[in-house]
Amino acid sequence: MNEISRDIAATAAAPFAGTQDAAAAPSLARKLAEVLTASRVGTIGAAILLAWCLLALLAPWIAPYPPNGIDASLMAYPWPTWRNWLGVDHLGRDILSRLIWGARTVLTVAPAAVIGAAVLGTLLGLLSGYRGGWIDALIMRVGDVLLAFPKIILYLIIIARFGPSAANIIAVITFTQAPIIARIVRAVTLDVKNRDYVAAARMRGESTLSILLREILPNVRGPLIVDFFLRLGYTVIAIGVLGFLGVGLPPPDPDWGSMVKEAYGMIFVWPHMTIIPAAAISSLVIGFNFLAQGLREAEIDG
């Protein structure tokens, strides 16, 4: 079977091998565009995310009302109207404005948390995989202990102890996600460290740090980027869940999870107050997952 794939690969790679004057490495922008259009799923995901990012970025200019502005007079008819496109919530706040401002929160907290987890996890994974021995055992076992807890309980314990705030949510997600990322990085490191180019780097006397960062880390990038976007999706859910459980970002600032929580008691009376923010969470998660899927397909295509 692998002979076959080699046959195909050779056929596909040969145009490069033969022609010496092919264009040099394409520009980053072109490469990005190529990756994003490699699969339809990826393009859809990227479009959803781009839309949310633009809304969040332009919130002060495009949100029709202040997000926390209460107008009790609207409570008489909270359904979507020409004035309030998505209706108002139980306090008479404009849902569309709250969604747009809420996007700001989720789109800063989630990436910050996942970046934190990725940095910590990558460092631990590189060290663990490259060094092996007791360092590896220690890092992996501590990670196992963290992973053995149901995550949601871990979130609740830590946030109950330190109080709900954006910084604490970021910290708790960083610490609970890092072990998983460390495992992925460690697996790649274990493979890559035995490659000949690492031996060649050792033969020219590169330091361990240089080998980890220059020779191994760039090769971890592929699997890590796909995982990064998948993990962003999970984190958006996690933030939503925390908001729903009442330990999310403190009110009154808009947070999608909290919006669902505040309104779900009225779901049979005014379903739009619950469904709209829930749909916003879903769309963001779907956007991240689609993008991850698209990146994976682009990777397979080479």
Residues 248-277 binding another protein (CB under 8 A) are none
CA atoms within 13 A on the CB side of 217: 14
Give the closest residue to 141 by CA, choosing from 113, 182, 192: 182
Closest to another protein by CB, 82 vs 134, is: 134
Work out how close the CB of 180 gets to another protein at its nearest, in angstroms, rounded to a whole number. Answer: 23
Closest to another protein by CB, 11 vs 73, is: 11
Q: Is 21 in the site for another protein (CB under 8 A)?
A: yes
Span interacting with another protein, options 9-17, 93-101, 166-174, 238-246, rule CB under 8 A: 9-17
Q: Is 3 in the site for another protein (CB under 8 A)?
A: yes
Work out how close the CB of 200 gets to another protein at its nearest, in angstroms, rounded to a whole number. Answer: 6
From residue 84, give the alpha-carbon distance in Å to each of 32, 56, 74, 277.
37, 18, 9, 15
Q: 283 CB contacts (<8 Å, ≥6 apart)? A: 48, 52
Work out how close the CB of 128 gets to another protein at its nearest, in angstroms, rounded to a whole number. Answer: 17
Binding mask 181-220 for another protein (x = CB under 8 A): --------------xxx-xxxxxxxx-------xx--xx-
Tokens of 179: 């072990």
Closest to another protein by CB, 7 vs 144, is: 7
What distance in Å separates the CA atoms of residue 285 and residue 6, rounded to the nearest whole number?
36
Q: Is 299 in the site for another protein (CB under 8 A)?
A: no
Q: Is 11 in the site for another protein (CB under 8 A)?
A: yes
Task: Count other C-beta atoms under 10 Å from residue 85's C-beta.
Answer: 12
Number of residues that bind another protein (CB under 8 A): 39
Closest to another protein by CB, 165 vs 210, is: 210
Closest to another protein by CB, 5 vs 73, is: 5
Q: Is 145 in the site for another protein (CB under 8 A)?
A: no
Closest to another protein by CB, 102 vs 143, is: 143
Q: Is 40 in the site for another protein (CB under 8 A)?
A: no
Closest to another protein by CB, 104 vs 193, is: 193
Under 8 Å between Cβ of 47 and 284: no
Tokens of 121: 């996890």
What is the 3 state secondary structure string of 247-270? CCCCCCCCCHHHHHHHHHHHCCCC
Give the closest residue to 263 by CA, choosing from 43, 89, 55: 89
Q: 217 CB contacts (<8 Å, ≥6 apart)? A: 122, 126
Q: Is 28 in the site for another protein (CB under 8 A)?
A: no
Closest to another protein by CB, 211 vs 281, is: 211
Under 8 Å between Cβ of 226 and 299: yes
Q: Is 32 in the site for another protein (CB under 8 A)?
A: no
Q: Is 22 in the site for another protein (CB under 8 A)?
A: yes
Of the candidate residues 54, 58, 221, 251, the single one contacting another protein (CB under 8 A) = 221
Work out how close the CB of 248 gets to another protein at its nearest, in angstroms, rounded to a whole number. Answer: 39
Residues that bind another protein (CB under 8 A): 1, 3-4, 6-18, 20-22, 24-25, 195-197, 199-206, 214-215, 218-219, 221, 301-302
